[in-house]
Structures are given as structure tokens and as C-alpha cells.
Amino acid sequence: MPRSRDRSASITSEVAAEASAGDGVTISQSTLLAPDVLLCLGSPGEKLRSDSLHGSVISDGVPVGCSGYGFSWDSPTSGGDSCLMVLRLAAPLAAEARLGRLILTTDGRIVSDSEGSSDLTDLRSMMRRISPEDQPARQRILDFLVSAASKAGSVAVAQLSESLHAAREAIRERHVVSVISRDVPRALYVDSIMRAGHDSFYLRGWSWCESGSPQQVTAYSPEGARVDLVESMYRYPRPDIDAFYGRSSASGDDAGFIAYLQMPALSELLDGWILEMEDASGVIVEHAAPAVTDDPVAARDSILADISHEKSAATRSLLMDQVYPAISRIQTERRSAVRAEVVEQYGTPPASPDVSIIVPLYKRIDFLEQQLAQFVHDPEIARSDLIYVLDSPELGEALLQKAAWLYPLYRVPFRVAILSVNGGFAFANNAGAALARGRLLLLLNSDILPDRPGWLGTLREVHDHDPTIGAVAPKLLFEDGSLQHAGMFFQHDQRTRSWSNEHYFKGLHGSLPAANVARQVPAVTAACMLIDVERYRSMDGLRGIYVQGDYEDSDLCLRLYEQGLRSWYTPEAHLFHLEGQSYPSAQRQIAGRYNRLIHTELWKDVIPAVMAELDHPSPAAFSMPLSEARSAQATSRPLRLRQRPRVQSPVVRATRSRAPR
């Protein structure tokens, strides 16, 4: 006997010896769902109710360990019980493999010890054989296959998904296909479905039932996982659908629906989603959804636009139950993909830097030179750990070439970290913080430009002066010398029932006396924020739940507040901020509205206490929208900065002339 057969006999004997005898399963057919996932059909000697099967199977004389799950049901067509077992194999099998003895145990009891060998069968043939006549039994079988295959897992995820899709199509019950016609009393349609994660999706569509609201709406993934939507989906008016069916929009039955789907199992296939709807008369129709949008940025931007459908500022059910979970999942998936793929050092790094400076770069890699041209005059920067984090990886090669050319010119040591994918403001800063070597961490925007040395030391002194200071930020000025940042506060909007983070004195004269007082403030901007590096890391840095660099900073400051730490503003350090050069304004508006509402929901119970703690003049009296401030400056000469000369650096002047407006 060949040694492999000796070994197989030894292993199967060991498995059998460790278990007591029982009424075993007789295997009639086996097929592969994936090279390492085996599906077996058989007849159990008793009801198979096991969530944990272990054993081995002989494949072409070679033993292969396996573990998995079993399920049995009453099968009138076979005159008794039938069972299915989904087994994850320790080694993959070939499609032409022949199976020999299969031993499976659970709780120390043998549930299968089948002798002989058989060829693997075709999946569809097996499904036709096992498919019972009644729909509930078919659905239970499909639920088991999806659940067991999901728990078993596979290295060949795509093939496993394709096999489950084939099983679903062989087992599921077909219904009348939905038809959009004024003569048909019911219709179901999906406008779009977008991936938020591997097991979560965002669905947008509409339904029409002449008899009233649908009794049930169910979504089926291509692999067969299902979720009921009628209780969880958000309904909103669709005037176009009302007009088509000649129904009054005041009827109370909103046609449109939006749903965030958290599926019970992973779904990798883009095509094959099906929705079913049952109306009050018990009639069921089905609709094949369009292909899944798999681009996370396109999905995120599309989902954000749905906030306009919110009907109640009091409950914000659309935002919190549908939009926020979807956006959060997309952001989480992006974070898992973000890593510093390339890290290059230019120049000799400082031996023991006290401060690490993190500068995210998004699209505008020309800002690297603008900053270096200012940093060259400040010896404190040369003693710091300066890290540029590129959040536009498609520009990686161009940035590396630019960095190699710029270092010999400016002689300021720095590192360049290129991210694997675009992650956004929060993830870029966090990736840089993971590389930091300093005791303190300075978050610095790429469009921040100093006009003199010493500002970094000033921030450090303020931070170290009081152990209750969690974060400190300087005065930031627009290009014309007017105020951009002198600390941040929270302002409540009664109409939208939301809190916005605003800047004290924004748009007013840079020498305004009230802006020249160092003080505790509710929050400070992450455009230039100094914080202890270990504290930043322990808090997981900026949270990625916000979109496109907005509200992450006030969120961080509020988390510091909960730890008994405060945010401070100091005017002794001041820099210029070009503000928002990398993002289209329309895109920022949509993202800003979402961020404001999410920030409000998370912090609405804390913000009033933060504002009440500070005895400052009403902040609204010293601020105005930026558009109004600049309009005032255009018509009021005294608002312009006269005593302080403009920055004289030719590089800064060049930046001003080239910056898009």
C-alpha cells in the first residue's frame, strides 16, 4: 500500500477513535463551492443540528483535514430527511478529485463515516436534486448555505461568490417581474445600489402600490443573503412618480425610499441583486437591481447629496439611520486601505527632534516649495521632524522628483510619505503621526505660510506652560492680513437645529485688539495645531467619520475636553493661511453640511457646557461670513491692514498670484 494511503488510514482511524459511534450521515453527492470549500449532500441517521463539525476527507488517497457546518430538513421527495454539510478544507482540491472516506465528528460523536469513493458532481445538478417543493424549506436551505459558507470562508472569495449565486438561482422562487405601467397596480424599481463595505450597501429606489404601502420589501444579494427593508428604509416624496401614477403627493404614501443594508454575509459580486415586494393583497413582484457602484468616492459623493431629502430636523432619521452608517463604513474601508507605501528621507534628519510636523499634500504639490522657501529662514524647523504626507498617490513620482530637486536648494531636512490610496485629511494626518519621532505633534496645512521665524517655539512654550492644555493654535491671517483664525466657537442655528464651528473675528482686521489676547477657546483649527504626540495617538488622532477635512479638529478638541484638557489660542504666533485651495467649493458645501449635522448629533449634549464655561463676549458679534467680510474690505479702505507690511517673500507673492480663486 502506498505511504499516502497508510497515512490516510492512520489519520481517519485517529479521528474515529476519539469519537463514539452514532447514526452517521450517508453521503450521496459532493461538489466544490470553491477549491477549499466542499458541499456534501446526504441522508442523516438522525437530525443534524451541528454548528461545529470536524474531521477529515480522503481525496485521491490523501487525507485532508476539514471543519464546517451541517443542516438537515424533512424531504418528502426522498422519503426522509436530507442534509447538507459545508466543509472548509485545510488544502484545496482539484475539480477532478475523487473522494474516499469522510469522517466527521461533533461533541465527541461521529456524525459521518462514509466509505468508498465518488466523483465530484456539478453544483447545479445537486441543487436541482435537493430543491424541495415548498418555498419556506428552499429559503431555509439557501439561508444555511449563505451562513455556513460565510463562516467557513475561502481563499477563493470570487469563486465562492459565483457558486453561491448559482445555488441561489437554482433554489429561489421566481415571481412576476415588476412592470412600470399605469395599468399595473404595483411596481418596484431600484435607481442605484452602492457598496459601502464588503457586507454593507446603500440602496435608492421607489415603489408604488395602489392598495397602499407595501407589506414587505426584501433585498437579496447575488450570493443569496437577504434582508427585510420595509421597517428600516427611509421613505421620502417622489413627485415624478406621483405625477406618473396621477396620485396626490399629500396622500401620505411616499414613493421614494433609501436604505442602508447591513447584510448577514459578504457580497462580492456586482451583478445579480434582486428586490422583492409584497403588497396588501399578497401579490409579490421582483425587480433586478442595476450593477453595484463599486467606486467608494463616487458612492460617498452621491450618498452625501441625499441629505436634502431629510424631512425632519428633529429626528434626522435619514441622516443617522441611512446616510451616516453608509458614509462611516465607506470611510472605515478607506482607512483600512491607507498606509504609507513609500517613505523617503531628504537630508540628514535631526537626532532628537522635539516636534514632528505633519503636512498633508493633496493635489497641490507645488505648496512643498512654497513652505520650504519660508522654512529655510527658521532654524527651529531644521531641528524638527518635518514629514510631508502625499494624499494624492497618483502624483507620487512627480513629488519625489520635486523633493529631490528642492532639498539641495533649501537644505531643510524632511521626509516624504506617499499613501497607498487617497484617504482624506484625517487619515493623511494619522498616517504621518504614525511616523512621527517628536514629543509634540504639529498638524500643519500645506497652504500655511509663516512670515517670520519663532512661531513654532512660541506654540511649544504655550503648550508646555500648563498641563491642562490639550491643544494650542496660533493666529492665522488671510493673504490681505485679515483674520482667518483666532480660535473657534460653536454657534447654534435654530432653523436647522445644528451647531456649526465658527472662527472668532473671521474677516476682521488682523490687529483687532480682541484677537490679540491669548485665551482658552472652545476649539482650535487643525490647520495649525500643536498637541502631545502620545495623547494624539492614544485618541486615535483625527476621526475619519467626517468628509474632506472639516470638523475633525473641533471633534478632537471636544474629545480633549472630555478628558479634562482645554484648547488654547495664542496671537503671539501668527501665520498666513490660503485656506481650502485644493477642494471645489460646491463639493465642500455638501460635505460641510453633512459634517456639521454629524458633529451636532455626536456633541449636542456637550457643546452647551463648553460654551457656558467661557466668559467671552458674544462671538457672533465679532464674526461675519467670509463673503461679507471680503465685500466689506473691497468697499471700506480702513479695514485693510495698513501698519503691518505685506509679506515680502517673492515666493509668497508668487503663491498669491498663482493660487486659484
Closest CA to 257 of 231, 281, 279, 283: 231
Residue 538, pLDDT > 90, answer: yes
Supply angle C-alpha 498, 503, 509, rounded to 5: 145
User: What does the pLDDT look like over 132-189, one tens digit per residue?
Assistant: 677 788 889 999 999 999 999 999 999 999 999 999 999 899 999 999 999 999 999 9
Nine cell digits for residue 298:
463616487
Rg of the chain over Cα atoms, rounded to whole angstroms, equals 32
Closest CA to 565 of 466, 429, 474: 466
Nine cell digits for residue 613:
464655561
> All domains of the chain, ordered by start, with CATH?
26-171 (no CATH), 176-334 (2.60.40), 448-654+656-660 (3.90.550)
Residue 296, pLDDT > 70, answer: yes
CA distances from 494 to 16, 433, 500, 553, 630 (A): 72, 38, 11, 23, 26
Residue 63 DSSP class: E
Residue 592 DSSP class: H
Q: CB of 526 within 8 A of CB of 552?
A: yes
β-bridge mates for residue 56, sequence order: 65, 103
SS3 111: strand
Q: Given pLDDT bands bounded at 50, 70 and 90, which one contains residue 12?
A: very low
Q: Given pLDDT bands bounded at 50, 70 and 90, which one contains residue 614?
A: confident
Q: CB of 431 within 8 A of CB of 417?
A: yes
- φ, ψ dihedrals at 439, nearest 5°: -75, -35
What is the b/e burial string over 90-100, where b = at least 16 CB atoms within 10 angstroms of the residue's CB? eebbeeebebb
What is the b/e burial string over 370-392, where b = at least 16 CB atoms within 10 angstroms of the residue's CB? bbbbbbeebebbbbbbbbbbbbb
Residue 631, pLDDT > 50, answer: no
Q: CB of 512 within 8 A of CB of 638?
A: no
Residue 215 DSSP class: S
Torsion of CA 9, 10, 15, 16, to 10 degrees: 60
Q: What is the mean pLDDT of residues 615-644?
A: 41
* Of 117 and 190, more confident: 190
- C-beta pairs of 314-318 under 8 Å, 24+ apart in sequence: 314/497, 316/597, 316/601, 317/234, 318/234, 318/236, 318/258
- Calculate the CA 424 to chain-centre distance: 11
Q: Which of 7-11, 126-130, 156-160, 595-599 has the lowest mean pLDDT?
A: 7-11
User: What does the pLDDT look like over 422-457, one tens digit per residue?
Assistant: 888 999 999 999 999 999 999 999 999 998 999 999
CA distance 593 to 587: 10
Q: State the pLDDT at residue 115.
A: 59
Q: What is the mean pLDDT of residues 229-241?
A: 94
3-state secondary structure labels for all residues of 383-449: CCEEEEEECCHHHHHHHHHHHHHHHHHHCCCEEEEEECCCCCHHHHHHHHHHHCCCCEEEEECCCEE
Residue 652, pLDDT > 90, answer: no
Burial of 329 per CB tally in 10 Å (0-12, 13-18, 19+): buried
Which residue in this structure is represented by grid cell 421582483? 286
CA distance 151 to 145: 10
